[in-house]
Amino acid sequence: MCGYYGDAEKTQETITHSRWLKTGDVGRMDEDGYVYFVGRQKEIIIRGGINIYPVEIENTIAEYPHVLDAQVFSIPSERYDEDVCAWIRLKPDAPKCDIEDIRNFLKDRLAFFKIPTHMRIVDKFIMTPTGKAQKFKMSEIMTKELEKNKEKH
């Protein structure tokens, strides 16, 4: 890629001086030189100064036998800047599943600060027409609902 057509500023933000394209992907390399995808820079949740990668939590939630998949995202927090939130879809044939069962499952598999503060079982995620989850919209919905509940109490 040479740059964004007619947008020198965006090109300068995205392409380094040595002509590398900044994709926003975050990875890690192991001692054998294998590179692993960790997440997207803009999706990183910063909770109390600690970086949390949603994909790690999504994969761990998906290990629960009745879970089909999960989307993990941040919501604002007065205490920690951001809290971890998860929307979870269950498998079609799954028996009734309780959020506390999932939370207990995660306690043995994730550090306490990575366990979502707020979890919701949903039938579907908010998606783009191309099938990408719109985490920012899910975050907006959860934030508004939590603010409404806060006002009631």
How does DSSP assign 14-50, residue by residue? HB-TTS-B---EEEEE-TTS-EEEEEEGGG-EEETTE
User: Has residue 15 been placed in a domain?
Assistant: no
Query: And the tokens for 32?
Result: 């054998």
- Does a structural domain hold residue 148? yes
Q: Quote the percentage of the chain above a pLDDT of 70.
A: 99
Q: What is the pLDDT of residues 46-88, one digit of tens each?
A: 999 999 999 999 999 999 999 999 999 999 998 999 999 999 9
Average pLDDT, the chain: 91
In a domain, 5, yes or no: no
Q: Does residue 74 sit within a domain?
A: yes
Confidence at 105, pLDDT banded by 50, 70, 90: very high
Between 27 and 84, where is the model more confident?
A: 84
Domain span at residue 87? Answer: 23-152
Q: Judge whether 87 lies within some domain.
A: yes
Looking at the domain assignment, is residue 16 inside a domain? Answer: no
pLDDT class of 17 with cuts at 50, 70, 90: confident
Compute the distance between CA of residue 12 and CA of residue 151 in angstroms, rounded to an integer.
44
Query: What was the pLDDT predicted at 39?
Result: 64
Residue 3 lies in a domain: no
The pLDDT of residue 153 = 66
Phi/psi for 111 (5° steps) reads: -60, 145
Whether the CB-CB separation of 106 and 115 falls below 8 Å is answered with yes
The domain total for the chain is 1
136 is a domain residue: yes
Q: Compute the average pLDDT of residues 5-11.
A: 92
pTM (whole model) above 0.85: no
Residue range 109-146, pLDDT digits in tens: 999 999 999 999 999 999 999 998 999 999 999 999 98
Looking at residue 69, what is its pLDDT? 96
CA dist., res. 85 & res. 139, Å (int)? 8
Q: What CATH number is given to the structural domain containing 37?
A: 3.30.300.30
Over residues 96-115, mean pLDDT = 95
